[in-house]
Amino acid sequence: MMKLKITLPSVYTILFLLIVFIAALTWIVPAGQYDMANNELLGKSVPVAGSYHQVESSPQGINDILLAPIKGFYDPITNQARAIDVALFVLIIGGFFGVVNKTKAIESGIFQITNKLKGREIWMIPTLMGFFALGGTIFGMAEETLPFYTLVIPVMIAAGYDSITGVAVVMIGAGIGALGSTVNPFATIIASNAAQISFTEGLGLRVVILVLAWLLCVVYVMKYAKKVKNNPNASLVANDKVANEEYFLHRSNTTGQALSFQQKIVLTILLLVFVAMVIGVSFSGWWMAEISALFLAATLLVGLVAKMNEQILTASFIDGARELLGVAFIITLARGLVVVMDDGNITHTFLYYAEHLLSDLSPIVFINSIYWVLSFLSLLIPSSSGLAVLSMPVLAPLADFSNVPREFVVTAFQAASGLPNLVTPTSAIVMGGLALGRVSYSTWLRFIVPLLAMIVVLVMVLLSIGVIFS
């Protein structure tokens, strides 16, 4: 008897179909807008609660669907950059690692690390996930994680794990940090300001969510990694084992050789670049342009140290950028979803539905309902800062009618807005990370869904307890 094998479409097709689906909704969902007022504290226009009104419908047709990925990259009408900075950042990262890989410094370094950690490789997982969680909770580490996949995944594969383990360490580590953000200026502080409270209110509960959720994720990833190491066939990407080892480890003949002085300098440059990136983002307000310039400068420095001539340097850079061209395109497609929603004037309509759904509820029902509503909205609006500015001025005041302190709404928002960093196909971070790890979205769902269910239950329990004792 023949078995029916169901194969899900590629990431590109999934994202394009989502654009088509959202465009179809613009023909069904009423178009509407809130009145917008300038918030001096945020320096942005925010919706005015209770001001929603219907506007002229703007259904998105075939032409709009085809233009969405283009506008997701750069809107030629408003001159608004959307994904161009992140996409260019990804290509420069690819070029940088193309040049670094030419020196074989990373390959030799991976061997040295795994050799010294023989029998203790598993402890890399909590250590690295702690680092990424710290970045997530302090400054909402998201796009900044993209360079780390190229470093972490080969180390995990060389240690006897698989590409999913490497993706999980980076994506879940930073994602759980963002989910439990404590002082993240791009989410927690913006949401608190929009809710008209201090960001320190509710800080204790957010720390508890961060610590417990991080422990849960670390145990989950370590358990999976141990299973794969003991039985490679248990890997969700077991069929790609040889191909992934070939791709990420390059089957280099340098394996086992000591690092040369030149390679040590290259690895030092690599380390300093990442330190500079974290410091620049955390304390100097750097964003994609500054970080891209940093990696471009580091590329030239590595080429100089490795004594590459101009032809080898440029060829290596282009080859590396070519490897991540698909990731850059995924990012533009993901941004195209938001373009269709905004152009179709249905973004505010979903917020209006949420506003009415949350009226006149008891405290526990209210806080859990708002968590689910914000989780749904975060799938449509994966930008934490964008969701905070849009939703908090409307939803936070509703807490007053249910006798729930507004800081719980901010905490629910924070926990909900962290979900896109783990699973949603509308997130460029998720789709970009999976593309870098050569992991299909369907495979990632098989891995992440059980953990996601446990995280949601944990957050709901902690929110409920917090409201009871508030």
Q: How large a percentage of the chain has pLDDT more than 90?
A: 39
Q: Is the pLDDT of residue 32 over 90?
A: yes
pTM of the predicted protein model: 0.80
What CA–CA distance (Å, rounded) separates 376 from 354? 10
pLDDT band at 410 (very low <50, low <70, confident <90, very high): very high
pLDDT band at 164 (very low <50, low <70, confident <90, very high): very high
- Dmax of the chain from CA atoms? 70
pLDDT of residue 1: 41
Q: Is the pLDDT of residue 292 over 50?
A: yes
pLDDT of residue 250: 67
Nearest CA-CA partner of 106 in 58, 147, 163, 64: 147
- Contacts (Cβ under 8 Å, ≥6 apart) of 316: 95, 98, 99, 101, 102, 308
pLDDT band at 77 (very low <50, low <70, confident <90, very high): low
C-alpha distances in Å from residue 23, one per residue of 19, 196, 383, 425? 6, 34, 20, 16
What CA–CA distance (Å, rounded) separates 355 from 375? 14
51-64 pLDDT, tens digit per residue, is 889 999 999 999 99
The distance of Cα 108 from the centroid of its chain, to the nearest Å, equals 29
Angle between helix 406-417 and helix 384-395 axes, rounded to 10 deg:
150
Q: Is the pLDDT of residue 39 over 80?
A: no
Computed over every residue of the chain, the mean pLDDT equals 86
Q: Is the pLDDT of residue 79 over 80?
A: no
C-alpha distances in Å from residue 316, one per residue of 35, 100, 319, 363? 52, 9, 5, 59
114-153 pLDDT, tens digit per residue, is 777 777 889 989 988 998 898 888 877 777 788 889 888 9
470 within 8 A of 448, measured Cβ to Cβ: no
C-alpha distances in Å from residue 147, one per residue of 94, 169, 456? 8, 13, 28
Average pLDDT over residues 386-412: 88
What CA–CA distance (Å, rounded) separates 129 from 126? 5
| Alpha helices, H only, 284-383 | 288-305, 310-323, 325-343, 347-357, 363-380
Nearest CA-CA partner of 149 in 463, 431, 456, 443: 431
What CA–CA distance (Å, rounded) separates 91 from 292? 9
Q: HEC string of 159-216?
A: CCCCHHHHHHHHHHHHHHHHHCCCCCCCCHHHHHHHCCCCCCCCHHHHHHHHHHHHHH
Nearest CA-CA partner of 383 in 341, 352, 345: 341
Average pLDDT over residues 320-327: 84
pLDDT band at 297 (very low <50, low <70, confident <90, very high): very high
Q: Is the pLDDT of residue 269 over 50?
A: yes
Domain boundaries, the chain: 84-161+224-325
Residue, of 34 and 110, whose pLDDT is higher:
34
What CA–CA distance (Å, rounded) separates 413 from 365? 15
pLDDT of residue 401: 83
179 within 8 A of 170, measured Cβ to Cβ: no
pLDDT band at 233 (very low <50, low <70, confident <90, very high): very high
Average pLDDT over residues 232-252: 85
Q: Is 434 exposed, middle or buried (0-12, 13-18, 19+ CB in 10 A)?
A: buried
Helix (H) or strand (E) holding 228: helix 203-230
pLDDT of residue 256: 53
- Contacts (Cβ under 8 Å, ≥6 apart) of 326: 12, 435
pLDDT of residue 8: 63
426-449 pLDDT, tens digit per residue, is 787 888 889 889 999 989 999 999
